[in-house]
Chains A and B, each alone.
Chain A
């Protein structure tokens, strides 16, 4: 591995660690930060390339933010760069959550903290519901989405299959569907 690559890797580690400190609320802010840091200031990649990376990072399984970091890092400095970027983005959240977890039992047993947590808990469902509404727009763009959603609910109710199994079945169904469709048009 040459020196140039090592330097880029180190740079990615530090920059992504800094970005990792400020990715609040579902992680869309990471895009804004990459854009600021790497496109506007340094012109490493173009806007369009970033969009492509994002679409791909979102469609692969796992955490979207780390996926995008990996794709971006690889783009700049190969697999080493990718791993550096992922390491950087991961570190802050591990450190912060470790501290929170260490204090969790204490927080939970403190009367005032309990009250605050009770309030936060009440807001969690609306937050999730808000995401469902935004996701729904995209997922139900094709009419079939509504049926797939209802079918999933029904299958879950009747069979009690796990979510993980359902996802695997869904992936298979999607693959078969694309296959059949492309045969049909060919």
Chain B
């Protein structure tokens, strides 16, 4: 039954998302609803997914599937998230000419894109609360790493995997080495 739930859950994620970061709000929702993953786990996973090859959706499905039900779980989740590709896209590919530059499609996307932005914004709030606010107040180290990462990403156009590795380095220094030097 867990397998069926995993399949259906990732089926929902697959059909209602349009790839990449826009999947995160939906994944977070499903994961928390089934308590398969916490927001902190998801944040770790996003970091890992950005560092390893492969699309975010597949990486999340693999991770959540294995964590909940081992290898069979992984297969169920991956099949779920791939179902739109295996059904809709396959049909579309076979009827390629008809879908070409469809006005309906672009009309739908005109509404969906801004909606995705709204959803991602709410996820940013959730993850920020999780990451930058500790019991004792703001985590200034984390905010510092975030600021530096943002500048490197936007101003200097670093590729995302580099940013992740660089942030890991700061984490090691600020949370690992520094406290040990102080004592």
* Residues of chain A having any CB pair with chain B under 8 Å: 20-27, 52, 56-67, 69-71, 74-75, 78-79, 82-83, 86, 90, 92-94, 96-98, 100-102, 104, 108, 111-112, 114-133, 135-136, 138-140, 142, 144-146, 148-150, 152-153, 156, 162-164, 166-168, 170-171, 173-175, 177-178, 181-182
Query: Nearest A residue to B102 by beta-carbon distance?
Result: A59
* 12 other A-B residue contacts (CB within 8 Å) besides A69-B85, A122-B149: A24-B52, A63-B57, A65-B55, A71-B93, A94-B54, A97-B52, A115-B171, A120-B44, A152-B119, A163-B26, A168-B16, A182-B103
CB distance from A81 to the nearest CB of B (A): 10
Query: A93 contacts B154, CB within 8 Å?
Result: no
CA distance A120 to B115 in the complex (A): 27
Q: Contact between B16 and A61 (Cβ–Cβ < 8 Å)?
A: yes
Question: Which residues of B sit under 8 angstroms from A21, Cβ to Cβ?
Answer: 53
Range for the number of chain B residues in contact with chain A: 35 or more
Q: Are B127 and A125 in contact (CB under 8 A)?
A: yes
Which B positions have Cβ atoms within 8 angstroms of A? 12-26, 29, 40, 43-44, 46-59, 62-63, 66-67, 71, 74, 78, 81-86, 88-90, 92-94, 96, 99-100, 103-124, 127-128, 131-132, 139, 141-143, 145-147, 149-150, 153-154, 159-161, 163-164, 166-172, 174-176
Name 12 A/B residue pairs within 8 A (Cβ), A-sorted: A26-B56, A59-B105, A61-B16, A67-B85, A70-B85, A97-B49, A98-B74, A128-B21, A135-B113, A162-B29, A171-B108, A174-B104
